[in-house]
């Protein structure tokens, strides 16, 4: 192929605010409009370029050389703006600084290291489901299961103390709002930010952690010289920031999917080994993490348009995961498709390092539920919770018919 002189096209412009309640609570119409507008769309409201097609989102995620994370993966550009907290050593860093913390955490959260948790988490899930069912057939599956299960499983696995765990979800909600603009959602938590941060930071100290959790493993990596002692508490902070709300809303996505597709629940009950692919398809279909930003390290040509050096790029993971060019009948929750390649965990260098933890939690909860619940259905309209990054939930009212 010969290189023709490229004339930069001007991308389509939109003045939409993707972080308004309207679009946060019901993102699909905006996703479709952005995908159809072009491979890249300039959002004048925030002076950012948006990618909503699978091809461009995937390409940006794997091209860390042109789309950096070190200037922040939210709207705030760390080249010009002070971050709200010391940047994450993993999420908000590029190679080579990114690599040592990543390597340490990858080993700690790899499938072989998680094997000892499988039996424990299955028992936790079975106990929780039994407790919930003992209270009667109608409940809010969001609070009773999707929130309750990760809170019983994950903080113990990290090894934090019993006090103050009620701060975990509010801290995560705040952190994920902070990737967006400083809108009302951010303002609503402003008065708690200091206290929540102080509590989380205190949990990251070696003395605050048990000797057998992920947190202790991180400190042990510092003893081996794989991390510095200054880095260790920040890596623990990454677990506490990224590890709770994400799984809560991913489990919610699964429960919502099955509550609205009863015939698929029957399939899962017949073949519990489908739990893993069901989780992956729910990740594709709902994309609990909806958006992330990168920053252009040079003028980058995206499908003929120039994205200027130093500018922010907004990637719509949820839109890519339903791009009809990539997925057939993308709006269907379909247990027979192959959902691999979805970008719900990101892609490339920064792809979710905790994904095996998330999958294990989902498998434990869905398997326990499938054994005990013959069928379940919504008894009212599920309610979403607005968050600048997460496709989040507030309530999922269900009625279950327990197994005989
Ligand atoms: C995240 C999208 C951190 C951190 C890491 C990852 C996330 C958030 C925070 C999970 C982003 O290192 O603090 S899903």
Task: Give me ligand 1 centre to Cα 129, in Å.
Answer: 29
In total, the chain counts a number of residues equal to 404
Residue owning the nearest CA to atom 2 of ligand 1 = 289
| pLDDT the model gives residue 3 | 41
Q: Return the bridge partners of 400, or none.
A: 376
| Strand 138-140 to 305-307 pairing | unpaired
Query: 305 CB under 6 A from ligand 1?
Result: no
| Half-sphere exposure (Cβ direction) of 399: Cα atoms closer than 13 Å | 3
pLDDT per residue as tens, the chain (404 positions)? 344 445 678 899 999 999 999 999 999 999 999 999 999 999 999 999 999 999 999 999 999 999 999 999 999 999 999 999 999 999 999 999 999 999 999 999 999 999 999 999 999 999 999 999 999 999 999 999 999 999 999 999 999 999 999 999 999 999 999 999 999 999 999 999 999 999 999 999 999 999 999 999 999 999 999 999 999 999 999 999 999 999 999 999 999 999 999 999 999 999 999 999 999 999 999 999 999 999 999 999 999 999 999 999 999 999 999 999 999 999 999 999 999 999 999 999 999 999 999 999 999 999 999 999 999 999 999 999 999 999 999 999 999 999 98
Query: Quick one: pLDDT at residue 320?
Result: 99
What 3-state DSSP class applies to 402? strand
For residue 67, what are the domain limits? 2-402
Assign residue 294 the CATH number of its domain: 1.10.630.10
Q: Kindly state if the Cβ of 246 falls inside 6 Å of ligand 1.
A: yes
Hey, what are 109's tokens? 């959260």
Locus of tokens 């407790």? 131
Domain count, the chain: 1
Side-chain half-sphere CA neighbours of 157 within 13 A:
27
Give the residue from 376, 393, 392, 370 showing the smallest Cα distance to 122.
Answer: 370
DSSP string of 220-256?
HHHHTTSS-TTHHHHHHHHHHHHSSHHHHHHHHHHHH
Positive or negative torsion for Cα 61, 62, 63, 65: positive
Q: Whose CA is nearest to atom 13 of ligand 1?
A: 238
Q: Give the integer Cα–Cα distance in Å for 245 and 265.
A: 24
Question: 146-157 as b/e, with b when 16 or more CB fall inside 10 Å?
Answer: bbbbbbebbbbb
* Probe target for ligand 1 pocket from 69, 70, 88, with the most ligand atoms within 8 Å of CB: 88
pLDDT at res. 4: 42
At 152, give phi and psi (nearest 5°). Answer: -85, -30
Nearest CA to ligand 1 atom 9: 242
**This prediction's pTM:** 0.97
The answer to whether residues 254 and 397 touch, using CB atoms and an 8 Å cutoff, is no
Q: Which ligand 1 atom minimizes the distance to the CA of 389?
A: 2
d(C-alpha 64, C-alpha 94), whole Å: 8
**Ligand 1, residues 70, 84, 238, 248: which to mutate, most atoms within 8 A of Cβ?**
238
**E strand or H helix at 399:** strand 397-402
**6, 304 in Cβ contact below 8 A?**
yes
Centre of ligand 1 to C-alpha 9, Å, is 34
């Amino acid at each position: 192929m010969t290189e023709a002189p490229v004339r930069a096209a001007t991308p389509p412009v939109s003045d939409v605010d993707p972080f308004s309640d309207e679009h946060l609570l019901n993102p699909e119409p905006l996703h479709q409009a952005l995908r159809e507008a072009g491979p890249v769309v300039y959002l004048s409201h925030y002076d950012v370029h948006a990618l909503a097609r699978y091809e461009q989102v995937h390409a940006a995620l794997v091209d860390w050389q042109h789309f950096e994370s070190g200037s922040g993966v939210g709207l705030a550009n760390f080249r010009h703006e002070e971050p709200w907290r010391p940047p994450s050593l993993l999420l908000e860093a590029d190679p080579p600084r990114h690599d040592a913390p990543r390597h340490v955490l990858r080993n700690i959260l790899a499938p072989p290291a998680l094997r000892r948790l499988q039996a424990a988490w299955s028992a936790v899930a079975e106990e929780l489901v039994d407790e919930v069912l003992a209270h009667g057939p109608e409940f809010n599956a969001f609070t009773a299961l999707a929130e309750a299960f990760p809170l019983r499983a994950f903080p113990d696995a990290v090894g934090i103390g019993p006090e103050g765990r009620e701060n975990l979800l509010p801290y995560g909600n705040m952190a994920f709002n902070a990737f967006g603009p400083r809108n009302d959602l951010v303002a609503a938590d402003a008065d708690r930010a200091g206290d929540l941060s102080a509590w989380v930071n205190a949990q990251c100290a070696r003395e605050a952690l048990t000797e057998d959790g992920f947190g202790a493993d991180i400190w042990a990596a510092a003893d081996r010289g794989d991390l510095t002692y200054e880095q260790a508490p920040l890596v623990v902070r990454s677990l506490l920031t990224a590890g709770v709300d994400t799984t809560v809303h991913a489990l919610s996505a699964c429960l919502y999917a099955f509550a609205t597709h009863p015939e698929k629940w029957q399939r899962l009950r017949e073949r519990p080994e489908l739990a893993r692919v069901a989780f992956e398809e729910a990740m594709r279909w709902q994309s609990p993490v909806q958006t992330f930003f990168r920053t252009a390290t040079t003028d980058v040509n995206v499908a003929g348009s120039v994205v200027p050096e130093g500018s922010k790029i907004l990637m719509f993971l949820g839109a890519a995961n339903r791009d009809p060019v990539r997925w057939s009948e993308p709006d269907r929750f379909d247990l027979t498709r192959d959902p691999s390649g979805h970008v719900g965990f990101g892609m490339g260098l920064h792809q979710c390092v905790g994904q095996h933890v998330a999958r294990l939690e989902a498998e434990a909860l869905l398997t326990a539920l499938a054994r005990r619940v013959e069928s379940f259905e919504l008894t009212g309209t599920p309610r979403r919770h607005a968050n600048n990054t997460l496709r989040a939930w507030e309530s999922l009212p269900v009625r279950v018919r327990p197994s005989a």
